[in-house]
Every structure is written in structure tokens, then in C-alpha cells.
């Protein structure tokens, strides 16, 4: 029983899918707990995919990994870290969605079609539109956008604020 998890890991790596299913079943309570906490549709699948990646990357040649306890602890901690990462990503998305709705103050009824939303970007410069896309479509932080574009955070914020001002003027002061 001591090397049961190690044996299942080896069998999985040799192509035995039943061993993979058994390992997923072992960690099912933990995966269910974290997916329930995030209350998101794809969280369970994301955590299972992460589990499979972890199983593939565990260094089995390391002598410390031979023990059942270390393998289970390693995998459980890895799943927990992935949950934290997904949670932060969800919070970031929620914050950006809230910021966008508060900054623009446009209700869904104001936009007659999806094309009007696309037309909003026509009043922006290429740089402003690109920054808005990175911030509000890809949910990057101001720092991430600044690093990616190799400009300062202040420049990103200034472009974002100019773009929001143009969009507000376009829709609120027709």
C-alpha cells in the first residue's frame, strides 16, 4: 500500500488509462471542493487537466517521490495552487468587468447592435484601441500591458483614460 500511488503513476505513464481514472478518483473530493468554491463551469475540467499535467511532470527518478505520502502531498498542493491561480484570474476578470461597466456607463439597451460596440473603437487611435483590447478583452493588468508594450504604466493609464473619455462622449453626449 505504501507505493500504491507511485505504482499508479508509473502505470499511467506507461499508457494505462485505468490508472489515470483511479488517480482522478482519489483526488475527486479535492477537485470537487475547489470547483464548488469557484462556482464556475469549467473549473472542474481545468483542475483535472492540471492534475494530468502534474502527473506527467512529476520527476519519478527522484528518490523522494517513491513514497506514497510525498506524491499525494505534492499533487494536492499543486491542485491547491492551481485553484488559487484560477481564483485570482476570476477575480481579475470580475474586477475588469466591473471597472468597464462603471467607467463607460452604457447599458445594453443603449447599444442597438453588436456593431455599435465595434464602432466605439473607430473613434480611438490604434494605440488606444489596442490597449483597451488588452485590458478589457484579454484581462491583462496595467502593469502587464506596460511590460508587453514596453511603455510605462502611466502611459497605459493615460491612453486608457483618453479612450474611456472618447467613448463616454460618443455615447453619453449624442
pLDDT score, position 152 = 93
pLDDT at residue 91, rounded to an integer: 75
Whether 25 has a pLDDT exceeding 70, the answer reads yes
How many CB atoms are closer than 10 A to CB 42? 11
**Distance separating alpha carbons of residues 65 and 108, to the nearest angstrom:** 54
C-alpha–C-alpha distance, residues 43 and 60, integer Å: 28
Q: Within the chain, where are the H helices? A: 4-13, 17-38, 43-57, 68-104, 114-120, 126-136, 142-149, 153-172
Of 125 and 61, which is predicted with more confidence?
A: 125
Q: Is the dihedral of CA 165, 171, 172, 173 positive or negative?
A: positive
pLDDT for 156 equals 93
Residue 8: is its pLDDT beyond 90? no
Q: Which residues contact 81 (CB under 8 A, 6 or more apart)?
A: none
pLDDT of residue 146: 92
The predicted model scores a pTM of 0.52
The per-residue pLDDT for range 144-166, each reduced to its tens digit, is: 999 989 999 999 999 999 988 88
pLDDT given for residue 106 in this prediction: 45
Q: What pLDDT score was predicted for residue 37?
A: 85
> Which H or E run includes 65?
none
Q: Average model confidence (pLDDT) for the chain? A: 79
DSSP string computed for 133-148? HHHHTS---HHHHHHH
Residue 57 has pLDDT above 60, yes or no: yes
Q: Convert the pLDDT of each residue in 63-120 to its tens digit.
A: 665 677 788 888 889 888 888 888 888 777 766 655 555 444 444 445 555 556 666 7
CA dist., res. 96 & res. 137, Å (int) = 9
What's the rounded Cα separation, in Å, for the pair 86 and 39?
11
Amino acid at each position: 500500500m505504501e507505493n500504491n500511488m507511485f505504482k499508479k503513476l508509473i502505470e499511467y505513464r506507461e499508457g494505462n488509462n485505468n490508472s489515470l481514472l483511479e488517480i482522478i478518483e482519489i483526488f475527486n473530493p479535492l477537485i470537487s471542493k475547489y470547483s464548488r468554491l469557484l462556482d464556475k463551469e469549467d473549473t472542474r475540467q481545468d483542475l483535472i487537466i492540471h492534475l494530468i499535467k502534474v502527473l506527467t511532470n512529476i520527476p519519478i527518478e527522484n528518490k523522494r517521490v517513491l513514497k506514497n505520502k510525498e506524491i499525494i502531498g505534492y499533487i494536492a498542493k499543486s491542485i491547491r495552487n492551481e485553484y488559487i491561480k484560477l481564483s485570482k484570474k476570476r477575480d481579475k476578470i470580475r474586477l475588469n468587468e466591473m471597472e468597464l461597466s462603471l467607467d463607460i456607463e452604457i447599458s445594453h439597451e443603449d447599444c442597438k447592435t453588436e456593431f455599435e460596440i465595434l464602432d466605439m473603437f473607430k473613434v480611438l487611435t490604434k494605440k488606444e484601441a489596442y490597449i483597451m483590447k488588452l485590458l478589457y478583452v484579454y484581462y491583462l493588468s496595467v502593469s502587464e500591458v506596460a511590460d508587453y508594450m514596453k511603455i510605462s504604466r502611466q502611459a497605459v493609464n493615460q491612453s486608457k483614460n483618453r479612450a474611456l473619455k472618447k467613448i463616454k462622449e460618443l455615447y453619453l453626449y449624442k
